Every structure is written in C-alpha cells, then in structure tokens.
Structure 1
Amino acid sequence: MKVTDNYVFLTKGPIHQVIGTLAVPTIISMLITNVYNIVDTFFVGQIDTQSTAAVGVVFSLMFVVQAFSFFFGNGSGTYIARQLGARDRHHAERMASTAFFYALCCGTLLAVFGLVFLTPISKMLGSTPTILPYTESYLGISLFGVPFLMGSFCINNQMRFQGYARYSMYGMVSGAVLNCVLDPIFIFGLHMGVAGAALATVVGYIFGFIVMLRMTRMSPNIIRYSVKRISFSFAYVKEILAGGTPSISRQGLAAVSTIALNFAAGAYGDAAIAAMSIVNRISMFVYSVVVGLGQGFQPLCGFCFGAKLYGRIKEGYNFCLKVGTVFLVFWAVFLFFFSKEAIALFRNDPEVIAVGTSALHYQIISYPLIAMLTVSNMLMQTCRKTIRANILAAARQGLFFVPLIIILPHYFGLTGVECCQAVSDVLAFLLAVPLVRWAFREMK
C-alpha cells in the first residue's frame, strides 16, 4: 500500500530528499499564506496611509485566528504523524475528523464575536481615531471568512503531517491567486477601497477552503473527514492541547505583540504604525520560507519519534538549521542594501520610508537566529515536549517582546520601538540553546 511506502520514505529515505520533498510545497504554502497580507498591503498602500495602517492593525487579529487554526491543525497533526509512525491509522482518522469539526466551530464563534464587538475590538487592536473607520470597514468584512480560513489551515496542517504537503499546497495557492486577481478589481475597478481588499480576501478564503476539501479526495491514503469519526472524548482534546498549545503561544502572543507594537508606534503617528506594519510583512515573508522548511521537517520528526528513530531526528534538525541560517543571512545582506526600496514598494511616503528603513535595519540583525528558534520550537512541539515547546513559542514575541516594547520606547523613543524585535530575538536565542540540548540528551 502507498501508506507503507510513505512510512518507509519518511523513516528511511535520505534526509535531504525527505525534507526537500515535504518542505518545497510547504514553503510555497507559507509564501502564499503571506501573499494574502502582502497583496492587501501593496494595493491598499496605493490608497492612503490610513488604509495601510488599518490593514496593519487588523493583521494582529488575524494572528489570533491563525493561532487557533494552527492550534487545531498542529495539535492534531503531530498526534496523527506519531500514530501513523506507530502504524495506528484508526486513532489518526478519528483525530483528523474531530479536530476539523472543532476548528470550524471555533471559527464560527470567533466571527460572530468579532462582528458583535466590532468597534471595541478595533480600538483594542490599536486603531487611532483617524484609522478607526478604515479598520472597522476592513475587519467587518474579513470576519466572514474566518471559519473558512480556520478550516483551510486545519486541513493543510493535517495533510502536511501525513506527508502529503503537495496536495495541501493547492488549496492555499488557489485561494491566494484568486485574491491577487480580485484585489485591484474590487479596490480600484469597483471603487470599494479598503472594503474591496477585505472582500477579495474573503472570497479567496472560501475558494481555497473548497479546493482544500477536494484535495483530501486525491488519494485513497489521505485521511478523509467523516461525521461518524467525530469524537468528544477528552483523550483527543488532551492530545490537541498538548500538540497545539505551542501554536497558541506562538501565534497568540504574536497578536499581543503586534497590538502592543501598534500602541507604541501610534504615539509617533499613523506613519509609524504603517511603517512598522510594512516591516512586519517583509520579515514574515522572509521567515515563511524557514517556517516552511521547519514544517517540512515535522512529518519526518513525528514519524521517526513514533518509530523511535531519534538519531534520524537530529540529522533532520541539523540539516534544516544549516539551510535556514544560510538563507536568512542572504536576505539580511540583501535587505540591508535595499531597505528603502523594499519599504517604498508598499507605501511611497517619505515619513513611512524613513521609519521603516531604520526599523528594518534593526530587524535584520537578528535574521540569522530565526532558523534555530523556528526549527527548535517545531522539534519540541512534534516530540510532545509541551512545556518547553510553549516556553520557546512564547519567548520571541511574548516573554521578552511585551516587556521590551514597554521599556525600550520609554528610554529610547521611536528607536526603542524600531529595535525591540531584534533585542527580543537575541534573548530568545540564548534561552533556546540549552533547551534544545536538553531535548536531544533525553532522546539518547
């Protein structure tokens, strides 16, 4: 059976070939995920600074949505990979349907809650009085796509952990391509402004979700969803919590840090919020390749952990670390010389460019450290080292960032806002090194 072939490939195939095969479509999926936000920022940036800032403000809430999406997708996916590695398909199938059902319900509840409390949430996210109308317009429409986005991410991650990253990629790509096509039509052709960007994104979410569901039927060996397999047993909830809480920590605290960043930057005007939003988009786009590389490592890690092939896990970890670090060093050098052009691509405003260029220069200092932080967190999460996975997930954008975004601007003003993420990254790296060594000593 093909299931057996996939098992043999993940547990015995050449490390570089296995990770490369799984990582390439996953990297494309990650890049496409960021395209949703990049495209909106680019086209909205052609309208005005307030619209650009509004998209950046709403972006922090999308972190919350992604946090819950990855909570269900990664929480169930790590369990599915370990069970398939241990040759237990029955429990893997029940987990897949159960987590998918929970993700759809959670997405619906989040959308309803957001629509009921639209204005308070917009203000809480960091909207200034001048940005608020644009934020409400963009967010009010975007919320209708939340259940479809969460469902798509859940399917995407579950298929990836099964070793079928290529199929999971198609749903993400199709939705993003449609979003790219519709953005200029709705924003400029139909004169809908920032509301058009939101509508294009929602249509992309829905279309991507439909395609993603279709992909689960492309192979008889891909786990399919069935109402009959949905379980309300706490045993499955416990596994989702163990595997998914690091995603909540990572993505949820990213939302908190973005909100805190918006408030800190807001003290220096709308241009500062827009600039920091653009820098975040650029960095996340670069990081998405490393995240995709790490996610290509996770199925191998999960299968090999289930099969007790610990030496193979370390080989895969080291491979990802080397490739990811080289990639990030390249982009750090490139963006150092072309930072102004990168910022101007999104918003050609002298004040936005000045703040964004300075912030990007600080940010790229810590680029070479991100590969180690990312892959280490995924290692801990997949091997069910829950506490350490949560610590690493919280470190970069929560444990260190939130206190620093309060302290640094107090002493250094706008410069403190601009350099906060880089300082946080360095501290998170120093914390990660002993935790990773501890994890590998346990595997021996």
Structure 2
Amino acid sequence: MNTQERRELILSGDIYKVIITLSLPIMVNNLIQTLYNLVDGIWVSKLSSTHFAATAFVWPVVFLFISLGIGISIAGTSLLSQLIGAGEYEEASKYSSQLMVISLIISIGFTVIGYLTSPYIIKLMGGTGTLAEYSNIYLKITFLDMPFMFLFFCFNSIMNAQGNTLSPTILSGISAVLNIILDPIFIFTFNMGIAGAAIATLVSRAALSIVAIYILMKSSAVVKPNFKDFRFNIEIIKSIVKVGLPSSIGQSGASLGFIALNGFIVSYGTSTIAAFGMVNRITSLIMQPAMGVGAALTSIVGQNLGSGQTGRVKEAFIKSLKLTISFSILGCVIMIWKDKEIINLFMQSKDDLEVISQGINYLRYISVSMPLMGIFSIFQGIFQGSGHTRYSMAMEVGRLWFVRLPMILLFKYFTDIGPTGIWISMSFSNLIVCAYGFAIYKKGYWQRKVIKVA
C-alpha cells in the first residue's frame, strides 16, 4: 500500500479498519521496544535483585533526556500528517528534513552531557553503595544510545504520518532479535555483567537506526528528507517547537516526577524499587494494544483534521475508546488471574523474596486501573494528533506532580501502610487525569488547526 492509498484509507475508509490497520504494527513495534528493557531486565535479574534494581533506578533519568526527542517525534507526526491530509507533500518533506537535523544535533549534545554527569545524577537521586555502582555503569553506556534513538524516532514519525506503520515494526523486530541474541553473550559469555546488557542494546539500536535511515532515503515514499542544499528554516523550526515543546515538557515533567518518585521509593529499600521497576515493565507490556491504538489515533486525527473532517475525528475517538477499554479489561483480568506466575517469570533471581511479595501486591493494585491507563492513551492520541500538545502535557505533568507525588507524601508521613501507599497513589492518579482529559475533550479546543494548510 503506497502513501496515496493509505491517505485514502485514513480519510474515507471504515474507521475500525483504519484503527486496526494502523495500530496493529504500532502495537507490535511498541511491544518490541518494551522487549529491549524486559530482556535486559530478565537477564540482569539472573545476576541479582540489586543489578535489576539498578536498571529500574536509572530509567527515568534516561527518559528525561529522550523526552525532547519524543516531543519532536510527536510534533513531526502531528504536523506531517496534517500536511499529508491536505496533500502538501513537498512542504511535508521540508519539515521532515528540519526534523531530522534538529534531532541529531540535540541527541549528540545530550549524549555528551549525560555521559559526563552520570555519577553526579545518581548521587543526587540518593543512590549509594552497589546500587550506585551498577546504576552508573548502566547509565553511562545507555547515554551512548541517544543519537540512534533520536534518529529512529524521526524515521518512525515520518513513516507513521504517512500511515506506514509496518516498516518501523519490521526493523524493530529484527533489532529486538539481535538484542535478545547479544544480551547473554555480552553479560555472561564475555563476563561483562550489567555493562553487557547496556552494550547489547547499544549495538542493536545503532544497527536499527542506520538501516532505518538508509531505507527511508532509498524508499519511494512521497515524504522523506532531502539534505541537498540544506538550510535551517526558522518558520518550520518554530512550528516544530510550538507543537513539540509542550510534549517534551510533558514527557520530561513526567520523567522528573519518576525521578522524584524513585527517590521516595528507594527510601523503602532496594526490594521496593526492584518491585516497582519490575511491575512497571510488566504493565508496559500488557498496555501495548491500548498504546498502539492511541498512537495510531495521532495520525488519523492529524490527516482528517488537515482535510477538514472533524466529525470523522470524533468517530475515530469513540471507536478507539471502545477498542482500548476492551483490551485493557482483558489485560486486567490476566494480571489478576496469573499474578504470581507473572512476577516469578520476570524476577528470575530469588535472592530477595521480599521483591516477589511486593511485586505481587503492586501488580494487584495497578491492574484495576488498566482501563484508565488505556483511556489516558486515547486522550493523548487526540490531543497530540490535533497539535494541541499542551493538553497532553498537562495530563502527563499533572498526573505525577499534582496527584501521585502529593498522595505518596501523605501516605508516607501520615500513615503506616508503607509501600502500599505508593501502589494506591499510582492507581488513583490515573482516574483523576482521565476525568481532566474528558473535560478538555468536551470543550472542543483541540479542533482548532495549529498549521496553515491549503
């Protein structure tokens, strides 16, 4: 299916068919991306629970740095899809060129800053002893991933905006298989420990991004970068920043919130931080169908708004909600039904049984809010697709800073329920943020266009 055929499907095809056609590859792609961390976690957990805790402890820091890349990617999908919906292919190609150059420059800067400041960041977060030692090793190598991650974000954004969600999925699948093969080799065969896990991921992501950019430049896609006589275009950069900055702030605000959250969690001990990281990875895996629908909605909303079909956008929103709630309820049932088996699968080391106990407890609490997490993804999809990313920013930041963290503080200092207060706060914050998202949707501000199209 070429770009024109995908455009016709998105603008006039059956909505359920459009959602499933676009979201299925995204679901697989997101699942594959999640597998990067899951596979690392499973292999690292064979070393010890402290090694596993280190990978969970530093992840919010990495995500803080890549949040800008994600914001730029979201801006790219939104702006490019609206231009494609209006048939402005040449303009869309100009945007894609600016997008890629900006991403590469920023990512290289982040790599240098992150690599040099890694030990200070870990110390500031409260990491000590072996946890700090392992965290520093893993974090420094992970920062080397940045340029490759950002480049693939651009590839993903350009392809998704055109409705091509299959190509990124195939490439991610190959990269994930490579990562799965390399993990035990670097960790155990070469006896590199936790550094081996990070290096395996680095090699896999580097291969992924290099091949992705080569395919993009050689493809017959109507929208792709052209660097011949390249010059920075201030107007295009302003548009990307206008749409991308709120998303970046939202993502980075959430990352900072998780860093602060990890600071509170680590005060309960290594067992709690390991349980927290383990269950979050499990829920990320289960939530892939819902997140895939939300991501597909971004390009559906963008192209249909670009062509002036607001009613079709609303129809896509409602049908996406129905699909997502169904997927989420199924995931909730599976996690409650097989809680012990799931936790034991993902925590291979049994050197600290408290990790297992707390993991099961957290899994039960977070399971009941799975449908709300799915609804959250749909609201993100419609706000990001329309280019009104300030609303998705408010949802990201508000959920953590104005609901979750204050609740955790109240439970920590005014009750004696221990880590259970964290688990309750995580679930309740999803309810509050979905109520906010619904209120904003009903007001209809998201229908206003953020870019001039013919």
Between the aligned partners of 2:405 and 2:145, the Cα distance in structure 1 is 29
Between the aligned partners of 1:397 and 1:218, the Cα distance in structure 2 is 42
Aligned to 1:206: 206
Between the aligned partners of 1:378 and 1:356, the Cα distance in structure 2 is 30
Aligned to 2:182: 182
Aligned to 1:89: 89
The alpha carbon displacement at 1:230 in A equals: 4.4
Counterpart selection for 1:414 from 419, 429, 432: 419
Q: Within 5 A, what are the aligned runs for 1:59-78?
A: 59-78=59-78
Q: Within 5 A, what are the aligned runs for 1:34-433?
A: 34-217=34-217, 219-228=219-228, 230-347=230-347, 348=350, 349-412=352-415, 413-433=418-438
Q: What letter corresponds to residue 122 of structure 1 in structure 2? A: I
The alpha carbon displacement at 1:255 in A equals: 1.6
% identity of equivalent residues? 28
Q: What letter corresponds to residue 325 of structure 1 in structure 2? A: I
Between the aligned partners of 1:13 and 1:230, the Cα distance in structure 2 is 37
- Return closer, same or farther for 1:332/1:415 CA change in 2, 3 Å cut-off: same
Q: What letter corresponds to residue 364 of structure 1 in structure 2? A: S
The alpha carbon displacement at 1:407 in A equals: 2.6
1:250–1:393 contact (8 Å) kept in structure 2: yes
Q: Render the CA deviation track for 1:159-212: whole Å, top value 9, x for unaligned.
A: 111111111222222222111110011111111110100100100110110221
Q: Gaps spanning 5+ residues in structure 1: where?
A: none
TM-score normalised according to structure 2 size? 0.93
TM-score normalised according to structure 1 size? 0.95
Aligned to 2:451: none
The alpha carbon displacement at 1:291 in A equals: 1.3
Q: Render the CA deviation track for 1:237-292: whole Å, top value 9, x for unaligned.
A: 22222332343244323322321222111112111111111011111122232111
The alpha carbon displacement at 1:26 in A equals: 0.8
1:279–1:356 contact (8 Å) kept in structure 2: yes
Q: Gaps spanning 5+ residues in structure 2: where?
A: 449-454
Q: How many residues align?
A: 443
The alpha carbon displacement at 1:158 in A equals: 2.0
RMSD of equivalent CA atoms = 1.9
Q: Render the CA deviation track for 1:135-175: whole Å, top value 9, x for unaligned.
A: 11111211112111111112112211111111122222222
Give the secondary-structure state (helix, strand or coil) at the position aligned to 1:163: coil
Moved more, 258-267 or 48-57: 258-267
Q: Within 5 A, what are the aligned runs for 1:19-34?
A: 19-34=19-34
The alpha carbon displacement at 1:12 in A equals: 0.6
Moved more, 234-243 or 72-81: 234-243
1:170–1:212 contact (8 Å) kept in structure 2: no
Between the aligned partners of 2:402 and 2:380, the Cα distance in structure 1 is 14
Q: What letter corresponds to residue 259 of structure 2 in structure 1? A: I
Q: What letter corresponds to residue 334 of structure 2 in structure 1? A: F
